[in-house]
Chains A and B, each alone.
Chain A
């Protein structure tokens, strides 16, 4: 017969960490807004042995604005990312990415921490965290450690999060005025769609030169990735048509998309290039004469 699920709705963080430590061999499912885990349970794709419901933990629902970065609790919902002016002003890409998630009901429940922990390469806000060089503060009963977001994933749906750890804080360096953000998601429909391709980028142009550019890509590799080779090629170069053309080719070596139920590798490759080129062309246009 079905085994009883070990369930805990902790009163505070300490209790949560204790539960994780106690059940570390059971692979505890940490439940927040339920937008990923509940469909999996309802469709019997997973049958958790232990569930930690952290939805009620105030300690994980904070937002602090610092001079150089924003600190978010993992329970920050997509709706909060869309609505909170502190987020909109300092990390506008988070707001844009959150807007493209599901629809209102999902935005009201889905969380930043959940999006990270679910580890899907199509997670909507993940390319944003990648380009912002976010830092994750992981916590267990034994203590805390910081992990660069860009080093968090170890493979498809795999991360370095240990069974007794949870994501405690997400530190996101804020966007400076001279940085120009860009966000584009392709889904099969205009709402309630999982990404086929998602691109987040920030760039800084001065005197026609791309001083800095960072590009995060979703759904085109086993994990969310940074387009390192493309960035290296672009950084410090004059933004002209030849460079834009070349960048569109080089980005192909930054990605390894697959054919799946939502799209094809070919389509993902082509649109990644097209979207990057569009961003760079728009950037060039906006900075003409600067």
Chain B
């Protein structure tokens, strides 16, 4: 089956079995191995990607379901050089340890911040409740996302108040 979709901003045509799982398609066909498999049943969230801006478990989505959709993975959320403030906050605040849940966690956090740039701790915990972490106890992940939200807000307000380009 031919699938037309956009992956990390690039229009992509794939010729795959329609029942192929999105996670396999990303990891095996596209070599985007930042998306991880921890359970294969939508419990751990390590395979979280964005489809049309919404966080989903890529182990529960099949190829035919991304026809015409925008898929974004951790690779798509990473700038060409360096890191985003969200990624930097995870490093700085201790939001990661073994790292296996981290890409999915950052994708879930991105989905939250895209909708709500002023989340409180409970909103953050709710937004990442589908991403299991066994290392950190979550405390520092919540801190990382809180800090990232603050950084992004201040960056936005800088943009808002900046004089127009001449």
Contacts and interface: CB of A to CB of B under 8 A. Distances in A.
Contacts of A79: 54
Contacts of A18: none
Given A43-B40, A56-B67, A105-B108, A38 B60 contact: yes
A176 interface: no
A225 B65 CA distance: 34
Contact of A108 (B54, B64, B129): B54
A34 B45 CA distance: 15
Interface residues of A, number: 26
Contacts of B131: 103
Contacts of A9: 1, 18, 64-65, 67
B19 A105 contact: no
Contacts of B45: 103, 105
Interface string B42-67: 11010010000011110111101101
Contacts of A39: 40-42, 60
B95 interface: no
B129 A104 contact: yes
**Chain B interface category by residue count:** 20 to 34
Given A53-B18, A56-B65, A38 B42 contact: yes
B112 to A, nearest CB: 8
A267 interface: no
Nearest to B45: A105
B92 to A, nearest CB: 25
B103 interface: no
Nearest to B65: A55
A102 B130 contact: yes
B127 interface: yes
Contacts of B65: 9, 34, 53, 55-56
A156 interface: no
B39 to A, nearest CB: 9
B111 interface: yes
Nearest to A37: B60
A9 B1 CA distance: 10
A134 to B, nearest CB: 26
B130 A38 contact: no
Contacts of B132: 192
Contacts of A55: 64-65
Interface of B: 1, 18-19, 21, 40-43, 45, 48, 54-57, 59-62, 64-65, 67, 108, 111-112, 126-127, 129-132
Given A31-B62, A103-B131, 18 more contacts: A9-B67, A34-B62, A38-B42, A38-B60, A39-B42, A39-B60, A53-B62, A55-B64, A56-B67, A103-B45, A103-B126, A103-B129, A105-B48, A105-B130, A106-B130, A108-B54, A109-B61, A191-B126
Interface of A: 5, 7, 9, 31, 33-35, 38-39, 42-43, 51, 53, 55-56, 79, 102-106, 108-109, 190-192
9 contacts: A31-B62, A33-B60, A34-B61, A38-B41, A39-B41, A43-B40, A53-B65, A103-B129, A108-B56
